[in-house]
Structure 1
Amino acid sequence: MEEVLKLKKATYHLWTFMTSKLISSFGAQVYAFAISFYILQVTGSATSFAMNLICNLLPRTLIAPFAGYVVDKYSRKVIVITAQIASSFAIAGLLTVSLTSGLSLVAIYTTTVILSIASTFSGIAFSSSITGLVDEARIQKAMSMNQMSISFAAIGSPALAGLLYGSVPMPVFLIMYLIASIIAVILESTMNFKLFAKRKEVVEGEPKESMWQSMKAGFSYLKLQPVLMTIIWISLFINFLFGSFEVGYSFILIEKLNIDSTHFGLTQGAFAVGMLVLSIYLSVRKEVKYPLLVSKRGILIFGILIGSIGLPLIQPMQYGVMIAYYAVVMFGFGATLIVVNTPLQVMMQKMIDDDYKGRVFSIIETMAMALMPLGVVIFGLLYDIFPAQWILIVTSLLLIGVVLVLARPSVVRKAHPELAASKSVKVETVSE
């Protein structure tokens, strides 16, 4: 009977988690859209706009290791709710400033920093709590539904924000985000983060680890997990090389091919649709049997797609055909991103000990976030010097080469011993 009640509660968690994520993501993206336009319209400065991006990225990179320590040390539910309340206060503070003295860049930057720190704590705490919220059989469903909510928000929020911007004042956007944040707090407070958790009980009188010792223990734990280290190295290279796509896609379509802004938005929308379609598919199908192998194949497709972005520069196309081509490519990118990420996330959720999840996920986030800006800067310089199509082709080949080396058959067999066993059984059956 108790097991049935736990499974019912887990089902409630699935839908509550998805709803909470959808509402908070929708509010955050509407706010981000409005603030970005506001900064560019008021200042006309790309530097002021970039400063807001730095205020979002830099705190995440710096605070993630500390957040990982806190998440493994204290109640994850308290951390998630506290972070969401802090976000609500930050938005309420900015709303008060806008109504009393008018928005200023200092107020916007300060709010962005607070929201960035809060989302880092909330994100790592939630990532570390998936196996505590839902039963093991539905981890892939939970990860897919989480991604579905982000995809829905990515499709719907720019459209809504675009309709509202210019017709309603900025305080309306802030009120929308504040309401979304408060609803998320209420939903999250009803969830039991310890339902399936397997965390070690704190023993009275046991000597406490310092923060530095705890973080070192996280690195030591990672070193003992060769498959996890492989996943982290692959993630690092992907995040760095993905800078060629981040910079190159907009550069080629807007600067080189003179694509209309509406059609450019259409191709970017195809990316979110691709993510949504594959998230729905993975949420209803059975769990992927060999996640590292599936992700390896997905990254190889990534490599081909990155190279394909430069094709219209080599082989000119009619304008309509070109838009359709890029819509298909971006749909492929979105779909492949889910194929690569979701199985690996499920695999890591099952592999990593509950007591180390916060630190391990924070290490992954820190390393990935640190290399992304570097990749964007380096590729930004390269696109000013070399032909765009050749940069993309070289990046494509590098990405394919990296994954073939790092996820070579011996590594895949180490991650999935049952794969080697099933192959040997097939060979024996054939020989008989």
Structure 2
Amino acid sequence: MEISDHQSNIQIIKDFSSNLISAFSADMFSLAMGLMLLAETGMSLSFGLSMIIMPLVSLLGLMPIGNLVDRHRHKPLLVISILIRLIALVGYALTIGYFHGVGKIIPTVLFLIINYIVQSVMTTGYNAAIHELVNEKHIQKLSSLTQSATSFANIFSPIVATSFYALLGFRTFIAFSIAANALTLVILLSMKFHYQPVAQIHSDNESSQWTLFKDGLHYISSNRFLRYVMSGGVFLNLMISALNIGMPFMVVHQLHAGDLSLGILNSLYASGVLIGNLVIAMLPPIKRLTRILTSAFMLVGVTLLMFGFVVIPGLGVKTLRVVGGLILCISGISLAFLNTPMGIYIQKTVPTDLLGRVSSTVMSINMASTPIGIIIFTVIFQVWPSWLNFTASGAILIGFTLVLSRLMYREERREPMGANQPIEENR
């Protein structure tokens, strides 16, 4: 059944609302949880639990989650996932009071494991279900607006959470998260999924789990363009860790510019991502993907290099906030033109019966490179001057982009990108 433009627009409104509510409540709850643990334990690890648990869950769930999403109808899977999260939230609310001090980490870790398993299933499930929600003309708009909702939450949820945490307390944030997930469930139940015929997959044992997962790997290995872009994403995550680790260290501890300056820079960076996704939503369908991706890669490298010159010791706080903020805003826009078009490319080219496995693999591999980059740059920033680390990282990323762009242009000329069609499973 063909999905009409009107139906697609209705689905986009519902999906955007659902993602905005979900992302906003999740970000606020995560920050409130960190503040609660910091007050109870006094450990800086309180804000780092998510960065440790999320990549581990993503890697461990790489095979079963991708297979699960491709083997089952997506709406029931998403509904069950939200219900599990609601049960976990209620259980967490009922048990957290029985633990004190460092002991509060125990129920928190258990909840985070369940939460990130659910989140991984839902993210992969939504990615695989986009063709069931909108027609192909609206995929770009849906993907960009979904990312816009996440960016909006990243900008404003910390402001709301920190403003109300002292007044309301942590239990209020749990209650708010339960209500937000319940509302998200209601919206999801109202959405219509237009299921498309795909190859039937039957699997009842662990060996076939590996066989199914291998089909996704085979598709990735046979698609050179996808491999090139995945390599670019992994390398970008490694280099951008210089910003994630180095900016707070440089701004607060070396330049002594204060938390306000750091907040301004972070907000402008997130605003850039939001602006970029809103622009993509208004653009006509992207056709020259390689040109957009390579230009965005290059611009991220240039902005990273330029930021190094802005944070040279001796420059004023106003210069840091204005010039540095502008550079980071441009960097955020560039990241939007990397992440969203790549997601659109996967939606339009990967066979529908492999979307879950391919999306899960791409997401997990990219996510796994982040903690590696954090470890590397944590060491590097203790050894060399911070401004030099930024400029060197930018220069390395520019050099990598020059090589990557040649490979991508050559592959695009060799084999034009086609539409996604179901394929026979490799046995």
Settle same-fold status: TM greater than 0.5: yes
Paired AA for residue 414 in structure 1: E
Which residue of structure 2 aligns with residue 169 of structure 1?
A: 169
Contact 2:25–2:177 (8 Å) recurs in 1: yes
Change (3 A) 1:194 1:169: same
1:308-319 paired onto structure 2 within 5 Å: 308-314=306-312, 316-319=314-317
> Does the 8 Å contact 2:310/2:324 carry over to 1?
no
CA–CA distance in 2 between the matches of 1:382 and 1:207?
46
Alpha-carbon distance, 1:40 to partner: 1.3
Q: Does the CA-based 8 Å contact 1:29-1:154 persist in structure 2? A: yes
Q: Which residue of 2 aligns with 1:157?
A: 157
Question: What per-residue deviation string (whole Å, max 9, x for no partner) do you get for residues 36-62 of structure 1?
Answer: 111112211123443453233321221
CA distance in 2 between partners of 1:122 and 1:416 (Å): 35
> Contact 1:267 / 1:326 at 8 angstroms: preserved in 2?
yes
Task: State which of 265, 278, 287 in structure 2 corresponds to 1:289.
Answer: 287
TM-score when normalising by structure 2: 0.91
Give unpaired runs (5+ residues) of structure 1. 420-432
Rg bigger for which structure? 1
1:364 aligns with 2:392: no
Look up the match of 1:424.
Answer: none
Looking at structure 2, the residues matched to 77 and 334 of structure 1 have their Cα atoms a distance apart, in angstroms, of 32
Alignment pair present for 1:200 and 2:188? no
Aligned to 2:424: none
Structure 2 distance, partners of 1:208, 1:381, is: 40
- Select which of 83, 95, 107 maps to 1:97: 95
Q: Is the 1:249–1:309 contact (alpha carbons within 8 Å) kept by the matching residues of 2? A: no
CA deviations over 1:330-380 (Å, ceiling 9, x no partner)? 211221111111222111111100011111111112211222111110110
1:208 Cα deviation after fit: 11
Inter-CA distance 72–328: structure 2 relative to 1 (3 Å threshold): same
**Corresponding position of 1:298:** 296
CA distance in 2, matches of 1:198, 1:381: 51
What percentage of residue pairs aligned between the two structures are identical?
Answer: 22
Which residue, 225, 228, 233 being the options, matches 1:227? Answer: 225
Q: Deviations over 1:38-87 (max 9, x none)?
A: 11122111234434532333212211322111111111112211111111
Cross-structure match for 1:341 = 339
Query: Which whole-Å CA distance do the structure 2 matches of 1:82 and 1:150 have between them?
Result: 22
Please give the alpha-carbon distance, in whole angstroms, between the structure 1 residues aligned to 2:415 and 2:224. 17
- Whether contact under 8 Å (1:83, 1:118) holds in the other structure is yes
Determine the C-alpha separation between the residues in 1 that align with 2:207 and 2:139. 31
Aligned length: 414
Q: For residue 188 of structure 1, what is the amino acid of its counterpart? A: L
CA distance, structure 1, for counterparts of residue 310 and residue 200 of structure 2: 59
Structure 1 equivalent of residue 409 of structure 2: 412
Cα distance in structure 2, aligned partners of 1:136 and 1:172: 41
Please list the CA deviations of residues 116-175 of structure 1 after superposition, one character each: whole Å capped at 9, or x if unmatched. Answer: 110000001111111221111111101111011112211221111111011112110001
Query: 2 CA distance for matches of 1:129 and 1:416?
Result: 30
Instruction: Kindly state the Cα deviation for residue 18 of structure 1 after the two structures are TM-superposed.
Output: 0.5
Matched ranges for 1:381-392 at <5 A: 381-392=379-390
Contact 1:64–1:120 under 8 Å retained in 2: no
In 1, Cα distance between equivalents of 2:181 and 2:75: 16
Give the aligned residue type for 2:88. A
1:208 and 1:40, CA in 2 relative to 1: closer, same or farther beyond 3 A? closer
Counterpart position of 1:237: 235
Residue number in structure 2 paired with 1:107: 107
Out of 329, 332, 348, the position equivalent to 2:330 is 332
Query: Greater shift after overlay, 304-313 or 352-361?
Result: 304-313
The CA deviation at 1:97 is 2.0
Counterpart contact for 1:20–1:188, Cα < 8 Å: yes
* Aligned-residue offset at 1:191: 2.0
